[in-house]
Structures are given as C-alpha cells and as structure tokens.
Amino acid sequence: MKIQSVPASLAVLVAIVLTIPNAQAADREKLLYSFTGIHDGYYPDSGLVADAAGNLYGTTYYGGVACTGKGCGTVFELSPNSTGGWTKTILYQFTDGTDGGYPTGAMVFDANGNLYGEAHQGGGPFFSGAIFELSPNSTGGWTESVLYSFSGQQDGALPYGGLTFDAAGNLYGTTIYGGLSNSACAISCGTIFELSPTSSGSWTQSTIYSFTGANDGYWPLSSLTLDSTGRLYGTTSRGGRYDDGVVYRLSPSSSGWRFDTLHTFNGQNGYGPQSGVVFDRQGNLYGTAMFSTNGYGLVYKLTPANSYQWKETVLYRFTNGTDGSWPTASLIIDSTGTLYGTTVGFTVPGTAYKITRNRNGHKFELLHSVGQTGAPLLRDKAGNLYGTTEVGGLKFGTGYGSIFELSPVTP
C-alpha cells in the first residue's frame, strides 16, 4: 500500500447509523498460498482476476530473480490441483527495463485470453511506466509485450490504478503524475489515458484528460468504472475545493471528453480516496475514503441530485477496532446490492467485510480478519471471496504476502 498524506478540512457531516460490526467472523477462511520471498515474488497488493476454468491471476510488486535487489515484480497464476490444493506458477518476471517493473492494479482479460496490466515504473528510457500484455504461447508459457511506454511528459507518468476495457476493445487508465505542467501539484497532476488497438496490431495512446489541481482534483490512484453509455468514473486522492479529493465523471462527445466533478470530499465526509467506484442497479455510486474525521476511513454512497452534483451518504465509519481501518481498495457489488471490501489495518489487522441493505438503511458485517490488504476482493459464482495480503500470511505482521479464500458459512 502506498499512502498519500492528505490534510483534513472542516465541513458539515452527513452520516447514517449502522449496525455495530459483529465480533465473530462470518466466513470460513482458507490459506491458498503463502509467498516465501524474493524468488516467488512478494507484496501482492493489486488484487486477483480469474479465468473461466477458475484459475487465479495476479501480480507481486516486488520479487522475481530477473531484477537485482528486492526484485521488480512478477505475474503469477494459481491453479486448483487434483489434491484439493493450489499450484502457483510464475508467468513473468519484470526486469525494470523496457519491459517495465513493479506492476500495480489488477490485470484484465480480453476475449482471447490475453492479460493486460500496468507496470508502475520502467518501460523505456524515461522509466515512467508502461502498459503490458501477456499472451499464451505455443510452448505453454506466456510472452510479454509492451503496448505503450510513458514518457513522463504530457502523456503521463507512473500508471497505478489498473485498466478498464470498453466494448470496442479500448483500454482506459490513469497516471499519478504527468500531463500539463501545473504548479498547483508541485510536480504534475496526473492524466486519464486511452489505448486503442490499430489494424496493424499496434496501439495508439491518447491523453483524454490532464488534471489541473483545482476543482478537478489531482493524483488519481483509482481504477476507472465504465457505465453503459461509455462514461468513465473515478476518484482523485487530492485536490478539489478542500484538497481532500473528488469523484469525477468523464463523458465522450463529438468535441472530445467532458470532465465533471460529481462530489468533493471535505474532511468530515471522508478524504484521501484511493479506490474507484461501483454502480448499483439504481445508478448510485459506492466507494471508500481512506481517511475520515477519526482517521480510519469510511464507506460512502453517492446518489444523483442533478446532472453534475451527487449527494453523499456515509454508510460506515471504521473505528480501528475489530472492523479494521484504512480502506484503500475498491468495493465489489453483487446482484443483490451487497457490497464487499477490505481494510489495510493500522494498529489492528486488516479485514474483509460486507455491507447489506436492510429496512433501517445498511448493515455492516465483519467477514474475517485477513491481515494487511490493500487489494479488492474477487467473488465467484458460488459466493466465495478471494484476496491477497500484502505482508504476512493471514495474520497481522511481517512476511511476504499470501492469497486467501473466504467461504460462506452455511447457517
């Protein structure tokens, strides 16, 4: 987890009282894999993605033997085996050269089974990051290719939040830095980019928005969410009127892309969001802010009030108790509107939790203490949840990280 320091501001509190979190775990946990150190990778902080066969794929920020020191990161596969366990295979080890290094953000599949992801650094002579593709090859391995290397200039620098595909096969993402020069951000404010495939097999990069550090925010750390009309939604960790971050929307038009700030955080209603947002069936948005007035973060809901301003309701404030603290990962949502998320933990272990609707509003439920995790959960059709811890196994403390499964306990 890479924490941005964000100052708090005073404002009016909008909140809703929720059920006190359960003291007992609601799901049964299983450790699928525990990383051992440099050679097999460590610090898996980007979440998992699954294929149709139930194999899990992810990245480690460090590790691998293709790079000196701590290692520059890996891509791995975890496959269920005939003995009821799981087998881990390293698909690629980064060198921090032209291939990139230190992968971040959950990867995405295309329809042909190729994986796409972001390298936070490396990628070329400017060491500003790259977008990569991993494709299965004829020998049973995987071949890595770089689709685009950032220059650190107006095209952006240091991609972070992960990638999003649209129906036409274009990829969208954000960079923390780069874009138009602006003193408001000390370095530069970050960008939103699009990568479009060409008929020749190459990809064309376009910077579709450069943050200014004003009401639009700056330093976007989140992934992007695409709605059915092709509009993109995300958050910035800083900026806005109170410098506490914003939720924004980017809408395609005949003259380019229109940027709208939907919500501005003001300290008491959360600040420093690092996660993206998710939609429910009614068109409401949900997300997390890493910090709040008590310092431990919250879960929020945004309801459209008009075309450009959305009303916030705070669904839950973390207490740094058994419920956890510092939610940095994006939420996931199921068909019933139940939300699932994780917390990193501060002086307590990180947690996996869910928030369900009830007649009084929403109910918070602790699923399990899972150790330090800044990655989103992955849910399968059976209701099992999969996730990663950045350090340790399923316990709070030192170590190299793990992959876990949470299975619903039948009443």
User: pLDDT per residue over 250-288, tens digit each?
Assistant: 999 888 999 999 999 998 899 999 999 999 999 999 999
pLDDT confidence of residue 308: 75
Structure-model confidence comparison of residues 396 and 28, the more confident one? 28
**Range with the lowest mean pLDDT among 177-181, 208-212, 221-225?**
177-181
pLDDT given at position 309? 81
Q: Write out the two tokens for 68.
A: 């000196």
Neighbours of 325 (CB within 10 A): 24
Q: How would residue 183 be classed by pLDDT, with cut points 50, 70 and 90? A: low
Band of residue 21 on the pLDDT scale cut at 50, 70, 90: very low
Q: In this structure, are 352 and 397 located in the same domain? A: yes
Per the CB < 8 A criterion, the answer to whether 221 and 209 are in contact is no
Task: For residues 32 and 51, state if they share a domain.
Answer: no
- As a whole number, mean pLDDT of residues 69-83 equals 94
Q: Is a pLDDT exceeding 60 seen at residue 213?
A: yes
More confident residue, 20 or 331: 331
Q: Answer for the pair 273, 289: CB distance below 8 angstroms, yes or no.
A: yes
Q: Does residue 1 have a pLDDT over 80?
A: no
Residue 129 falls within a domain, yes or no?
no
Q: What is the mean pLDDT of residues 389-395?
A: 71
Residue 163 lies in a domain: no
d(CA 21, CA 322): 8
Residue 254 lies in a domain: no
**Segment 5-14 mean pLDDT:** 28
Last residue in a domain, options 78, 113, 148? 148
pLDDT band at 408 (very low <50, low <70, confident <90, very high): confident
Shared domain check, 65 and 22: no
What is the side-by-side strand order in the sheet with 130-136? 101-109, 115-121, 130-136, 142-149
Confidence of residue 180 (pLDDT cuts 50, 70, 90): confident
Instruction: Say what the pLDDT of residue 17 is.
Output: 30
Residues 317 and 399 both lie in one domain: yes
32 and 56 in a single domain? The answer is no
Tell which wins on pLDDT, 124 or 396.
124
Residue 54 and residue 77 in one domain? yes
pLDDT mean over 90-112: 95
pLDDT of amino acid 8: 30
- What is the average pLDDT across 294-322? 91
143-160 mean pLDDT: 95
Among 40-44, 184-188, 375-379, 390-394, name the most confident range.
375-379
Q: Looking at the structure, do residues 23 and 51 belong to the same domain, yes or no?
A: no
Model pTM?
Answer: 0.90
- Tell me what pLDDT residue 268 has: 85
The order of strands in the sheet holding 49-50 is: 49-50, 56-60, 74-80, 86-93
- Residue 133 CA to residue 195 CA, distance in Å, equals 12
Q: What is the reported pLDDT for 347?
A: 84
Q: Is residue 243 part of a domain?
A: no
Residues 32 and 57 occupy one common structural domain? no
Q: Is the pLDDT of residue 388 over 80?
A: yes
pLDDT at 257: 95
337 and 389 fall within a common domain: yes
338 and 402 both lie in a single domain: yes
Given a contact cutoff of 8 angstroms between Cβ atoms, the answer to whether 85 and 79 are in contact is no
| 203, pLDDT greater than 50 | yes
Residue 203 counted as domain residue: no
Give the Cα separation of 329 and 273 in Å (integer). Answer: 9
The half-sphere exposure of 380 on its side-chain side, counting CA atoms within 13 A, is: 17
Beta strands in 307-350 (DSSP E): 310-317, 332-333, 339-342
Q: Which residues on adjacent β-strands are paired with residue 259?
A: 250
* Confidence class for position 7, pLDDT limits 50, 70, 90: very low
- Residue with the bigger pLDDT between 72 and 410: it is 72
pLDDT computed for residue 26 by the predictor: 56
pLDDT given for residue 23 in this prediction: 38
Q: Which pLDDT belongs to residue 398?
A: 60
- Tens digits of per-residue pLDDT, 348-385? 889 999 999 988 889 999 999 988 889 999 999 999 99
Range of the domain at 54: 47-122+135-148
Q: What percent of the chain is predicted at pLDDT more than 90?
A: 74
pLDDT grade, residue 80 (50/70/90)? very high
Q: What is the pLDDT of residue 19?
A: 33
Of 148, 182, 210, the position where a domain reaches its end is 148
Question: What does R_g of the chain's alpha carbons equal in angstroms?
Answer: 20
Number of compact structural domains in the chain: 2
Residue 66 and residue 16 share a domain: no
Assigned domain for 342 exists:
yes
Lowest average pLDDT, out of 2-6, 157-161, 379-383, 384-388, goes to 2-6
